[in-house]
Structure 1
Amino acid sequence: MKIPENRGGLIIDTVITYLARRLHHVTTIDRLAMRYSAALPHTLWDPALSRLSRSADKSRLWWLVAAGLATRRGPTRRAAFRGLAALAGASVAANLVGKPLLPRRRPAAEAVPEARRLHKRPTSSSFPSGHAASAAAFVTAAALESPRLGIALAPLGAAVAYSRVHTGVHWPSDIGAGAVLGALVALATRHWWPPRPDDARAHTAPPADAPALREGAHILAVVNPHSGNPDDDPTTELRELWPRAVVLTPESGADLHDQLTDELRRRADEVRALGVAGGDGTAAAVASVAADAGLPLALIPAGTLNHFARDLGLRHFTDTDAAVRSGNAVGIDLGEVEIDSDHGTTRRWFVNTASLGGYPEMVRLRETIQRHHPKWPSAVIAMVRTLRHARPLRVRLNGEHLAVWLLFVGNGTYAPKGVIPSRRPALDTGLLDVRYLRADRPYSRTRFLLAVLTNTLSTSHVYSQRDLSELDVTLLDGNRRIATDGEVGPLGHRFRFRSRPSALAVYRPRKAVSDTLTPPEQPPTGSPAPRRRRRAFRFW
C-alpha cells in the first residue's frame, strides 16, 4: 500500500481544524457569559467591584494583604512570604510570557454598561488575565501554609478575578487560564520551599526524669524582655502564671551564662529546674547552664523565630506549663564546640546551629545597623553587604584541605537538604548536619545560585551536605569568629564540633495543649477562670 506523500500535511490540517473548532466553542461560551454578566441589574456592588479591580493593579492589593499577614508570627507570616514569591512568579509567567506569546483582543467597551467600565482600559493582550493569575497564586500559596487562611482569602481572590469580567476588560476564559496558571505557580513553590506544618514536632525517643512542678515552684526562670516584639514583655505573664518562680532578667553588658551560674550557685538547694522566656540565643545560654548542672529546662517561646521551641512542638506558654505540671520531659541532643584560640580553649553548647564564614560577620553588622534601623531591614542590608564582600576561608576539614565561603553545622539533621534548612524531623539522631559552599571551584557562587534556582543542590559540585557525629575544623589563615544560635562568639583558629546525645532534658507535653484555653488544672464549674489563664495568650 502506498502512503500518500502529503500525509503529514493532512495530519497538521486536521489538528488545526480541531483546535479552531475548540477555540470557536470557547469564544461562543465567552460571549454568552459576557452577555449574562452585562445583563445583571445595577447594584451597589458595581462601584465596589470597579474599585477592587483597580486596587489589584500591579498587585498592590496583595502586597497590602501580605504586609498585614506578616505582622503575625507562624503560618500567617510564612503565608505572606510564600504568597509574595508565588505572586512574583505568576506575574512574570502571565505578563512577560503568556501575553506576548498568546495575543488576544479584549472585549469591546460596549460589552458592559457604561457605569461599570474602567476609566483607563488596559491595552495589553487579554489572554491570560494577570489579575486572576496573581490572585490565584497568592491565595493558593497562602493555603499551602494555612488552609484556614486560604479559605478566608478565597472570596477576595474570586472577587478580584470576576471584577475583570464585570468591568468588561477580560473574557471569562482569560480568567480561567490566569487562575490555573497562578495556582500552578503557587504549587511549584513547594519544589524549592516545602511547606512546614505549624504543629510539626520533632521526634525524640528517650524520656527524661523531671520533677512535676506547680505554679513555678523551684524554677529559676530567665526572662529576656528584649526578645521578640519589644512592646510585649513576657515578664508579667510569666509572674502571673508561675507566681512561685524566681525570675532573673539578663543584666546589660554582662555574660548571661556567668550571671545565671552565679545565681544558681546561691540557690543550689532551692532550684530543681531552669526556665527561659526568650529567643534562641537566650534559650541556648540557659540550656548550656542546664546541661552543665543536670537540670531540666522549661522553654517558653517568646522570641522572634523560636526555631528551638517549634522543633519541640512548644507554641505557647500553655504547652510548657502543661509539661511542667505533669513532669513530662524528653532527652534531646546538644551540639558542642571546643574553640582553640591564642588565649586557650573554651567550650560552647548550641541547640540549633553554629557557623563560620560570612554568617558571624552578617550578625555583627546587623547588630550595628540595628541601632538606628528596625531589625528585619537591618538583617537584609547586612546580608547583602556581607555576600558582596565575602572572603573565602581556607580550612582543614576533618583532614581535607578546602576553601569555603560558608560553613554551617546543625545540631541534628535538618530538612530540607537544600539551601534553607528549616526544621528537624528528630532531636535524637546523635549527628551533626554539616553543609558548606566551596570557594575553590570556578564560578562557585554563580553555580551555587543556579543550583538553588533549579533545586539541584544535591548534585552540585560546589555545595556539600554531610551527616557526621564529629567535625574538626582548622583555619589556615588566622582567627575567625564563630556564631552559635545567632549569637557571635569568640575568635578561634580551631573548632572541634561534637554531638552530645541526650545531653539536655526539656519539658515537653505528650500532646500540644495550646489549641485550647483550658490548662491541665481547671477551676471548679461555675467559678471564674483565673485572670492569668486568659492573658497567657496575649504576647504570642
Structure 2
Amino acid sequence: MLAAVAAVLSLFLPFGDGGVLIVVSGLVGLALCAAGVWWFLAHRGPVRFLGALLAAGTPVGVLLLYIAGGLWPSALTAVLLWGLALFCARRALHRPALGTRTWPAARPERPVLLMNPKSGGGKVETFGLVGKAERLGARVLLLAPSEPGGAFPDAAELAREAVADGADLLGVAGGDGTQALVAAVAAEHDLPFLVISAGTRNHFAMDLGLDRADPARCLDALTDGEELRVDLGDVDGRPFVNTVSFGVYADVVQHPEYRDAKAETALNMMPDLLAGSSARRFDARVDAAVLPAQQALLVSNNPYNSPDPFGGAKRPRLDRGRLGVVGIRVDGAAQAADLAVRGAMSAGLNVLTAHRVEVVSDSPELAVAVDGEALTLPTPVVCTLRPKALRVLVPRDRPGTLPAAPPLSWRRVFVLAFGRRRERTASDG
C-alpha cells in the first residue's frame, strides 16, 4: 500500500501539473496503440500500414514527450514504484494452497505408452523416450504411419486395444489433443494416465507441474509416482484437457496453411474474420448468463489465473469442477482502445466461471479448436466437465508445482493492511 501511494505521489510532488500530463498522455498513448493494433489486424492496405505506424510510433512519441518535458525521471520512478507495489501485493495475497490432493500410487505392472515421433519437433527421439520407457518395463506404441504417406493410427483405438490386452496404465508422449483422446479411454476404464511433455506447448503438463524442458523426467512416475484426480472436459462428446476455442482463433486454425505459416495465415485472414463479410458472431449461454454477439470465446477445463491463457497464465487447480470462460467482443478501434485501457472492466471482455456453456449461432455448424485441433461441430455446441474423472500418475518430484500467481485484488490487499483480524474461536478447530 505504501508503494502504491508513493507511486502516485511521485507523479505530482516534484512536478505539480506534470503528473497529470504523465497519466493522461500514458492512457491516451495506450488507447492509440490499441487502436493501431485493431486497424493493423482488421484492415488491409494503407489502413493496415497506418495502424502499424500508430501501434509502433505511439510508445516512442510518449517517451519523447516525457524527455522533452523533463518528466521522464518522475515517470520512471512511478513505474518502478508501481511495479514494487504489484510485486508486494501478490506476495501479500499469496498463501500456501493445499493444491490438488495426491494419493500414493502403486507401480504399474503393464503400462502402455503411445508416442508420436513427430510431436514437438521430434522430442521422442531427442530425449530417448522409447528406450527409457522400455527399460522401465513399459510397452511403447508409436503413433506413426505403417508405410510412407499412409494414415496415422487412431490413438483412442490403440488405447482401447491396449486395455483389452491387459494394460493397467495408459500414457501419451504427444500433443494435448492426443493426450485428451487417450485420457478419455483411461477415464472410461478407471485406469491411471501418464502425461509425457513431448508436445509443442504442453499446457496440460505445465499445469500438472511436470518438467517441460526434459520430457524424460515424466517417466519417473512409473517407479516413483503419486496420483492426482483431475477434471476432464467434454465438448459434444469429445474430451478436452485444456481449452475449447470458438470464433476468430478457431476459424484461423481450420486452414491447412496455418500449420506451416501461422503468423502469415492469421494476418491474411484477420480482416475478413474481424470486420469483413466472413465475420461470424455467436451467442454463448454461460450457466444463466448470456454473452451476445461474441467474436471469440475460450472455454477452459478449470479457470486460468488471468484472462490471457496464451500469455503464460496457468490454472492453479484442475479439480474444482468449473469451466473457465473468456469472451471477447470488439467492434472497432474505439472498443479496442477501451479494452486496452480498462482491461477486465471493459464491456468487450467477460471473464466468468460456469458448470455448462452452450454456444449457438445462425450457422448450422461452428469452427471449433479443441486443445488446438481444428474441428467443425453442429450447433448448438455444449461444453461441460466431468469432475475428477481422470486419474493422473505424476512423479513425486515435479519442478512446476509452485503455485500460480493469484489474481490481484486491491480490496483484499486493503483488508489485509487495515482490516481487523478475526479472533479465533474454539469452533475454528
Same fold, TM-score > 0.5, yes or no: yes
Paired AA for residue 227 in structure 1: S
Question: Does structure 2 conserve the Cα–Cα contact (< 8 Å) formed by 1:208 and 1:505?
Answer: no
Distance in 2 (alpha carbons) for counterparts of 1:240 and 1:209: 26
The structure-2 alpha-carbon separation of the partners of 1:451 and 1:507, relative to structure 1 and needing over 3 Å to count, comes to farther
- Residue aligning to 2:416: none
Question: Does structure 2 conserve the Cα–Cα contact (< 8 Å) formed by 1:331 and 1:504?
Answer: yes
The 3-state SS of whatever aligns with 1:416 is coil
The structure-2 alpha-carbon separation of the partners of 1:395 and 1:448, relative to structure 1 and needing over 3 Å to count, comes to same
271, 277, 281: which is aligned to 1:393? 281
- Residue aligning to 1:431: 322
Long gaps (5+) in structure 1: 1-14, 17-86, 103-126, 129-176, 196-200, 339-346, 516-540
- Residue aligning to 1:229: 121
**Are 2:106 and 1:218 aligned?**
no
- Residue aligning to 1:101: 69
The 3-state SS of whatever aligns with 1:413 is coil
1:486 positional shift: 0.6
The 3-state SS of whatever aligns with 1:234 is helix
1:492 positional shift: 1.1
The structure-2 alpha-carbon separation of the partners of 1:506 and 1:383, relative to structure 1 and needing over 3 Å to count, comes to farther
The 3-state SS of whatever aligns with 2:254 is helix
- Residue aligning to 1:412: 302
1:478-517: CA deviation from partner (whole Å, max 9, x where unpaired): 21122111111232111121121111111223332699xx
**Are 2:157 and 1:261 aligned?**
yes
Look at both structures and tell me which one has the larger radius of gyration over its CA atoms. Answer: 1
Distance in 1 (alpha carbons) for counterparts of 2:178 and 2:97: 21
Identity %: 29
- Residue aligning to 2:340: 453
Distance in 2 (alpha carbons) for counterparts of 1:499 and 1:486: 18
1:436 positional shift: 1.3
1:46-66: CA deviation from partner (whole Å, max 9, x where unpaired): xxxxxxxxxxxxxxxxxxxxx
Paired AA for residue 142 in structure 2: T
Distance in 1 (alpha carbons) for counterparts of 2:355 and 2:226: 28
Paired AA for residue 368 in structure 1: E
Distance in 2 (alpha carbons) for counterparts of 1:185 and 1:88: 23
Taking the TM superposition and a 5 Å limit, the aligned residue runs for 1:198-347 are 204-207=99-102, 210-213=105-108, 218-230=110-122, 232-234=123-125, 237-243=128-134, 244-251=137-144, 254=151, 258-262=154-158, 264-265=160-161, 268-315=164-211, 316-338=214-236, 347=237
1:369-428: CA deviation from partner (whole Å, max 9, x where unpaired): 444x4x566566666774454623233625747211112111101111368572111111
What is the alpha-carbon root mean square deviation over aligned residues? 4.0
1:335 positional shift: 1.1
Distance in 1 (alpha carbons) for counterparts of 2:68 and 2:208: 50
Distance in 1 (alpha carbons) for counterparts of 2:320 and 2:179: 21
Paired AA for residue 433 in structure 1: G
* TM-score, normalised via structure 1 length: 0.53
Distance in 2 (alpha carbons) for counterparts of 1:300 and 1:318: 8
Distance in 2 (alpha carbons) for counterparts of 1:284 and 1:394: 26
Distance in 1 (alpha carbons) for counterparts of 2:399 and 2:324: 31
1:329 positional shift: 1.1
Paired AA for residue 139 in structure 2: V
**Are 2:246 and 1:351 aligned?**
no
The structure-2 alpha-carbon separation of the partners of 1:190 and 1:383, relative to structure 1 and needing over 3 Å to count, comes to farther
Question: Does structure 2 conserve the Cα–Cα contact (< 8 Å) formed by 1:202 and 1:425?
Answer: no
Distance in 2 (alpha carbons) for counterparts of 1:484 and 1:236: 27
1:184 positional shift: 3.8
1:11-56: CA deviation from partner (whole Å, max 9, x where unpaired): xxxx99xxxxxxxxxxxxxxxxxxxxxxxxxxxxxxxxxxxxxxxx
Question: Does structure 2 conserve the Cα–Cα contact (< 8 Å) formed by 1:354 and 1:485?
Answer: yes
The structure-2 alpha-carbon separation of the partners of 1:331 and 1:405, relative to structure 1 and needing over 3 Å to count, comes to same
Paired AA for residue 248 in structure 1: L
The structure-2 alpha-carbon separation of the partners of 1:448 and 1:430, relative to structure 1 and needing over 3 Å to count, comes to farther
1:469 positional shift: 1.1
- Runs of 4+ in structure 1 displaced over 6 angstroms? 87-90
Distance in 2 (alpha carbons) for counterparts of 1:260 and 1:465: 33
- Residue aligning to 1:507: 393
The structure-2 alpha-carbon separation of the partners of 1:492 and 1:359, relative to structure 1 and needing over 3 Å to count, comes to same
354, 371, 378: which is aligned to 1:485? 371
1:360 positional shift: 1.3
Question: Does structure 1 conserve the Cα–Cα contact (< 8 Å) formed by 2:358 and 2:383?
Answer: yes
1:273-312: CA deviation from partner (whole Å, max 9, x where unpaired): 1111122222222222222232211111122211111111
The 3-state SS of whatever aligns with 1:285 is helix
Question: Does structure 2 conserve the Cα–Cα contact (< 8 Å) formed by 1:332 and 1:502?
Answer: yes
The 3-state SS of whatever aligns with 1:508 is strand
Long gaps (5+) in structure 2: 1-13, 16-55, 91-95, 402-429
The 3-state SS of whatever aligns with 1:490 is strand
Distance in 1 (alpha carbons) for counterparts of 2:268 and 2:125: 29
1:216-268: CA deviation from partner (whole Å, max 9, x where unpaired): x52221212222234x4437611221113222222457576x44424532552
Distance in 1 (alpha carbons) for counterparts of 2:373 and 2:82: 35
Distance in 2 (alpha carbons) for counterparts of 1:218 and 1:235: 25
Question: Does structure 2 conserve the Cα–Cα contact (< 8 Å) formed by 1:212 and 1:326?
Answer: yes
1:474 positional shift: 2.7
* TM-score, normalised via structure 2 length: 0.65
The 3-state SS of whatever aligns with 2:191 is coil
1:468 positional shift: 0.7
Paired AA for residue 220 in structure 1: V
The 3-state SS of whatever aligns with 2:102 is coil
**Are 2:257 and 1:368 aligned?**
yes
Question: Does structure 2 conserve the Cα–Cα contact (< 8 Å) formed by 1:481 and 1:492?
Answer: no
1:334 positional shift: 1.3
